[in-house]
Structure 1
Amino acid sequence: MRRRLRRGMDVVEGRLRGCSLEAADPFVAEVVAHLIEAGGKRLRPLLTLLGAEFGPAERRAEVWDGVVTAAVVAELVHVASLHHDDVMDEAQTRHGVSSVNARWGNGVATFSGDWLLSKAAQLAAELGPAMVQLQARTSRRLVEGQMLELVGPSERQRRLDHYLAVISGKSAALIASSLCAGALQAGATPSETDSLAEYGEHLGVAFQIGDDLLDITAPSERLGKERGRDLAVGVESLPVLLALEDDRPQGAELRELLAAGPDATPEARSRTLALLCASPAVDQARVMRDDRLRRARRALTVLPDRPARHALASLCGFVASRTR
């Protein structure tokens, strides 16, 4: 399985880098290749390949090309979402390089993200109607999650419920669909595909909570982007939401600092980060992350006992270890 995964990821990488060459204009090619060339975890295509491991072994050679194409689709959609997210967040860096919006402007970043989505749709169409429907549902959930984050919670909605709805769309949707795409292309059973989707939803929520924690606790060099970026643009991440409920004197100071919003001075943001790191909210967020990871592991128990199932279980440990 490891050899198949390595070989598959090598092919995926080559195809990703080749996608930009299909752009009709050299400038477009340069822009859409920018974040692809910068690299990244490539988690979504890896999950696609792992999802395919639950298809019949005798069909692996037959479905190989479709599985790899599905993995490319998953990463193209993810990179497109980064183009759009960085516009919304006014981010300056991504994966250790200048963000597309910082280098070429918001308009170029938005339309280059659209180009990547259109390329993903083209590849999905080559795989058949089921893959088109899956990719379309995923893109819709990504957009809905981004819109929910933009408009904020309704008057009757708890902030925590709104947060979970946002990350379900922005993070969990693509992780779950990446697994489903591989299973779908490889001929896994509907029950296996459903279990992978459930696992992916919980893993995706846990992964985003981990990102929220990293934004507060990790140095910028490790993140590949500015530390405290969520605070800088006024995004209420999970630790922030939990810290707002802290009734200690430090909690009162934190609420006052957070009330300043994205217009706060760098000094105020630095103090806010220090208070957040010392707040019980960090441990509370870890507890919520670990609960999601337990639910993800439980979803795996109905899958066949294969190396891919153990790899997915190990991935839960990786997500937990990122922000111990």
Structure 2
Amino acid sequence: MTTTKDPSPVSGTIGPESIGELRSLTLSGLKAVVGRLPASLQHVAKYQFGWTDEKGRPTQGFPGKLVRPALALLCARAAGGRAEAAVPAAVAVELVHNFSVLHDDVMDGDVMRRHRRTVWAAFGTGNAVLLGDALLALAFQTVSNLGRASATVLSDALLDMVHGQAMDLALEKDTTPTLSKSLITAAGKTGALLRSACRLGALIVGADETRAALFGEFGEHLGLAFQLTDDVLGIWGDPQTTGKPVHSDLQSRKKSLPVLAALASGTPASERLALLYGRDTALPFGPDEYVELAALIEEAGGRSWTERRAHQAYADALAALEHARPEPRAAADLLALADALIHRNH
């Protein structure tokens, strides 16, 4: 579903009471489920979720932004139910998200996330892979109690995510990657799980399939917008807020959407960019070259194209949400959350 209406910033934000309640519901459910892990994985799991440091000492950290569980809980409210009913769905999607993060960090070789070392960098590849597998098992244990339809929604999302990650890996070796392929990859890697979170939240409180699918469509478009924004931050984001090194995507020569859009522009800047990006990987870029790469991508229109496409996906998300006929108060919170995701700096 598309719309020509320009998305405008939502006035206001989710109130601190709502944020605190959503976090409390999610963390309470998450800690209970993670507590079922074998003792051999407990320490690594608590580190992954930000509850302890590498030595097992308690910290005040949160397990990331908790975007996916927040969407599940808010969509339950928006469909006319209670957020508490959707806690199992919120927990399940957050477990799947962390499964994907653990495995993606291994595949991408990322050593920093959320301002500290990734699990594989801190505890080894084996522990990261095993914890990811265990979290996935816990996710399906959790959602299986909600019925076959809910388990199918989550498994469909997982298959789309895996497909998206496989395409992402293939794109890194593809000498002629296209924007269309990369958009499909982004939709699978990020949009699928947000779609699942929103759809599950609505289904659990009794929404019919058509209405739940519209909530899911809202999540899928929002996920694409989120990924497009993330790709911009991967090049131009401030490391103090992103928790990743400056120009992190350029260091790995990732063919993110801004890069592909720039390469497709047919400009002198794109030609220079192609020359640098095609250089032997045995010759790493220097600090000045990272600055040049970022400038070339921007000059070739890669940044502006990505930002425009993110705003279009955001507009599509708002149109789907409107068609889902959400409850007004919950809708306001969903819109505020969506706006914060697209107009963020980390």
For normalisation by structure 1, the TM-score amounts to 0.89
Of residues 219-228 and 284-293 in structure 1, the stretch that sits farther from structure 2 once superposed is: 219-228
| Matched AA of 1:312 | L
Stretch moving more, 175-184 or 238-247: 238-247
Contact 1:217 1:277 (8 Å CA) reproduced: no
In the other structure, the counterpart of 2:42 is: 29
Deviation larger for 313-322 or 211-220: 313-322
Given that 2:177 and 2:260 are in contact with CA atoms closer than 8 Å, whether structure 1 keeps it comes out as no
Shift of 1:5: 5.9
Match of 1:312 in 2: 334
Q: Which residue of 2 aligns with 1:149?
A: 168
The count of aligned residue pairs is: 318
CA distance in 2, matches of 1:193, 1:214: 31
Residues 119-148 of structure 1, C-alpha deviations (whole Å, 9 max, x = no match): 111111122212211111111111111111
Q: Is 1:265 the equivalent of 2:285?
A: yes
Structure 1 contact 141–170 (Cα < 8 Å) conserved: yes
Residues 67 and 182, structure 1, Cα contact 8 Å, conserved in 2: yes
Separation in 1, partners of 2:70, 2:250 = 31
**Is the Cα–Cα contact under 8 Å of residues 75 and 201 in structure 2 kept in the other structure?**
yes
Alpha-carbon distance in 2 for matches of 1:234, 1:96:
21
SS class of match (2:169): helix
Q: CA deviation at 1:303?
A: 2.7
- Amino acid aligned to 2:72: T
Instruction: Tell me: CA distance 1:92–1:302, structure 2 relative to 1, closer, same or farther (3 Å).
Output: same
The one-letter amino acid of 1:282's match is: R
d(CA) in 2 for partners of 1:153 and 1:83?
Answer: 19
User: Does 2:23 align with 1:9?
Assistant: yes
Moved more, 279-288 or 260-269: 260-269
- The one-letter amino acid paired with 1:203 is L
1:157–1:215 Cα change, 3 Å? closer
Aligned mates of 2:299, 2:79 — CA distance in 1: 47
Q: Structure 1 or 2: larger helix share? A: 1
Point out where structure 1 has 5 or more consecutive residues left out of the alignment: none
Segment of structure 1 superposing worse, 313-322 or 30-39:
313-322
Find the aligned partners of 2:323 and 2:256 in 1 and give their Cα distance. Answer: 33
| Matches for 1:1-324 after TM superposition, within 5 Å | 3=17, 6-25=20-39, 27-37=40-50, 38=61, 39-57=63-81, 60=82, 65-152=84-171, 159-260=178-279, 263=282, 264-267=284-287, 268-304=289-325, 305-322=327-344
In structure 1, what is the Cα distance between the partners aligned to 2:38 and 2:336?
42
Contact conserved, 1:67 with 1:185, CA < 8 A, in 2? yes
- CA distance in 1 between counterparts of 2:238 and 2:71 reads 27
Partners of 2:291 and 2:153 lie apart in 1 by 42
Secondary structure of the structure 2 residue equivalent to 1:301: helix
Shift of 1:218: 1.0
What is the aligned-residue identity percentage? 29
Asked if 1 retains the 8 angstrom alpha-carbon contact of 2:270 and 2:297, the reply is no
The amino acid of 1:20's aligned partner reads V
What amino acid does structure 2 have at the position aligned with 1:275?
Answer: L
* Cα distance change on mapping 1:83 and 1:199 into 2, 3 Å: same
Query: What is the CA–CA distance in structure 1 between the aligned matches of 2:254 and 2:124, rounded to whole Å?
Result: 21
Query: RMSD in angstroms over aligned alpha carbons?
Result: 2.5
TM-score by length of 2: 0.84
> Which is bigger in relative contact order (C-alpha 8 A, separation at least 6)?
2
Whole-Å separation in 2 of the counterparts to 1:120 and 1:74: 7
